[in-house]
Amino acid sequence: MFLVLVGAQSTNAAPQGFLEGHLKIASLKEVQLADSPPSKALAQDYADYPLIILSSDGKKEIARVTADENGNYRVTLPPGDYILDVPGRRPIGHVRATPQPFTIVPNQTVHVDMNIDTGAR
């Protein structure tokens, strides 16, 4: 019985990998200069648009991640193939984005940026 418990613990301790990136929200609601820091209104937009991490077949939601006030995100995941996407329905109209496939490798960081169009005109 002791060996089974030790084996289970070592399986759970498998090395994780990391996904990081930047969320860019395209919208005509507010114009911002390229070199200026994000406005408070834009920072709020990041919280309104969480990203989802799906299984490689796109059928199972694995995790959600919300970008920080600068649009950056980072999440720890087990090794495997995934898809970064946005949830299908939004309270603020339709969101368009291209799903981004990626692979997590133990102890490494993969960088995937996400661009979304909020359709707000």
CATH topology classification for 15-117: Immunoglobulin-like (2.60.40)
Predicted confidence (pLDDT) per residue in 59-104, tens digit: 999 999 999 999 999 999 999 999 999 986 444 557 788 999 999 9
Tell me: pLDDT of 10 over 90: no
Question: SS3 of 40, please?
Answer: helix
pLDDT at 29 over 80: no
* pLDDT for position 47: 86
Record the pTM: 0.73
Q: Where are the domains of the chain?
A: 15-117
